[in-house]
Amino acid sequence: MARTTNTAPKAPKEPGRLKQMYQVFQMTRRYDSLAIWFLLLAFLGPVLIGLVLAFLLSRDQILGFVLYIVAGVLGGVLVFLIVLGRRAERAAYSQIAGQPGAVGAVLKSSLRNGWTASEMPVAVSPKTQDAVYRAVGRGGVALIGEGPRSRTQPMLEGERRNITRILPNVPVTFLYVGPDAESVPLHKLPVKLRSIKSALRKPEILAVSNRLNSLGRNGLPIPKGMDPTKVRAPRPR
């Protein structure tokens, strides 16, 4: 009888770094027609600067001439990768723009410089799926409405009343991400947050964030006339 061996199927091999970069480039080019021109400029600019410096400063020195050219090429590769990452991120956001939860995805992946937020909204309209997200940072509290401004503004006002009731001295800023002309484009939301004027120090940011998180945990109302600490179990008959 032939002996059979049970071999587990091999996991698919992950693509290498160069292949991943090529896939990102193809995706970016597919959704961003101007990306290839920005990438060419990003690479060729430092290379040309390196060539100019080589001719001006090291024309008679072979080693210096070569080093300037190599530095220009390396600089071009670095700037190329930075621009590719930015354009790829913008292309990815363009695919989810207008979908419920898009703002949460941006807040989860792109917040920096002292801003914190949750990908889960603090308020959602069950009828229209419009949502309100909350971020806390050096600029105070930012409330971000996801949906048309005419529908999200009342939701933002309601959340601001809840915040000012417990934190009256913390500034609250409204931002809108939606179909309106004056709304913030999805890929510019992190930049818009960072542009808000600083109002809190780092310890204050943590204190405000903790206070607002406790507000979310204690948001369920208690029925009037009932004290849950004095409720007694019914006596057995």
Say whether 133 sits in a helix, a strand or coil: strand
The rounded Cα 72 to chain-centroid distance in angstroms is: 32
Residue 62: CB atoms within 10 A of its CB come to 9
Give this prediction's pTM: 0.67
Q: Is the pLDDT of residue 3 over 90?
A: no
User: For the chain, what's the residue count?
Assistant: 237
Identify the residue whose tokens are 């229209």: 128
Kindly state the percentage of the chain with pLDDT values over 90: 27
CA distances from 92 to 18, 168, 186 (A): 20, 38, 10
Q: How far apart are CA 103 and CA 108, in angstroms?
A: 9
Q: Is the pLDDT of residue 235 over 70?
A: no
CA distances from 180 to 5, 92, 126, 175 (A): 63, 21, 21, 12
Compute the Cα dihedral for 112, 115, 120, 123 and give only its sign.
negative
Residue 13, pLDDT score = 60
Kindly state the percentage of the chain with pLDDT values over 70: 84
Say whether 67 sits in a helix, a strand or coil: helix
Q: Is the pLDDT of residue 97 over 90?
A: no
List, for residues 136-148, the tens digit of each pLDDT value: 988 899 999 999 9
